[in-house]
Chains A and B, each alone.
Chain A
Amino acid sequence: DSGVTQTPKHLITATGQRVTLRCSPRSGDLSVYWYQQSLDQGLQFLIQYYNGEERAKGNILERFSAQQFPDLHSELNLSSLELGDSALYFCASSVDFLTGELFFGEGSRLTVL
């Protein structure tokens, strides 16, 4: 158990819909990262937050957004969903943003029909 909690574990929805994925980092970790894992693209970095502020941005679509709240949990919002958004979405956390030692949750598997 990494200490990172993601909900929901599985989500099935239709094209055009909007979903929210939630992540609770390890106790004491200030940085949260979101990654998308798909068969064709592999693990793609989406976005990073540190203590409530956006720290780095990767290949995140404009239809996607995220935020980190004062209690340090984070949410990833995916809107106008397309079939290609079906993937496993991982949240990871770390105590800071220097070491690169990330602790991953078990992921949220999104299926868009």
Chain B
Amino acid sequence: AQSVTQLGSHVSVSEGALVLLRCNYSSSVPPYLFWYVQYPNQGLQLLLKYTSAATLVKGINGFEAEFKKSETSFHLTKPSAHMSDAAEYFCAVSPLVSQGNLIFGKGTKLSVKP
């Protein structure tokens, strides 16, 4: 069964600092991988997705993620944090290529200090 593990339920960074949110996946087949963001009192919004094309994926709001098969990782990064990045971030994997439902990690809450 496919699964996703997000290391760290809370991450705090200073404004302007590097953001690194970790995600490791377990999959017996090449996965589709996603990062979603949830702002307070809102639904989830797609940040970026990996679907076996380029291993470095660029998303919205300056975020990017790199697929590393050897490490089964798909970490999310942003060079310089902004106050507006404070939110909860979810990594997700698609269990089967032919199905769209996603398996989500537990989420990482990002705080940005001024």
Question: Which residues of B sit under 8 angstroms from A56, Cβ to Cβ?
Answer: 99, 101
Q: Is the CB of A100 within 8 A of B102?
A: yes
Taking a contact as CB atoms under 8 Å apart, the answer to whether A97 and B100 are in contact is: yes
Which residue of A2, A42, A106 is within 8 Å of B104 (Cβ)?
A: A42
Contact of B97 among A33, A35, A43, A98 (CB under 8 A): A98
Nearest B-chain residue to A91, judged by Cβ? B43
Q: Tell yes or no: A74 within 8 A of B by CB.
A: no
Is A55's beta carbon under 8 Å from chain B? yes
Which residues from 6 to 45 on chain B have a C-beta closer than 8 Å to any C-beta of chain A? 32, 34, 36, 41-45
Residues of B within 8 A of A72 (CB): none
Residue of A nearest to B104 (CB): A43
Residue of A nearest to B106 (CB): A42
Tell me the complex Cα distance, A105–B107, Å: 18
Q: Is the CB of A100 within 8 A of B43?
A: no
Select from chain B the residue with minimum beta-carbon distance to A41.
B106
Complex contact A45–B100 (CB within 8 A): no
Closest to A42 in B: B106
Q: Which of B32, B43, B103, B105 contacts A90 (CB 8 A)?
A: B43
- B44 touching A90 by the CB < 8 A rule? yes
Of listed A42, A58, A92, A101, residue having the most chain B CB within 10 A: A101
The verdict on A42 contacting B100 (CB below 8 Å), with A100-B49, A102-B46, A106-B42 known, is no
Cβ of A96 and Cβ of B100 under 8 Å apart? Answer: yes
Partner pick for A107 among B36, B43, B104, CB 8 A cutoff: B43
* CB of A94 closer than 8 Å to a CB of B: yes
Of residues 60 to 114 in B, which have CB atoms within 8 Å of A's CB atoms?
90, 92, 94, 97-107
Task: Tell whether, in the assembled complex, residue B49 and residue A101 are in contact, meaning their CB atoms are under 8 Å apart.
Answer: yes
Indicate whether A48 reaches chain B with its CB closer than 8 angstroms: yes
**What's the least CB distance linking A21 to chain B, in Å?**
14
Q: Least Cβ distance of A75 to chain B in Å?
A: 18
* Chain B residues closer than 8 Å to A92, beta-carbon distance: 43-44
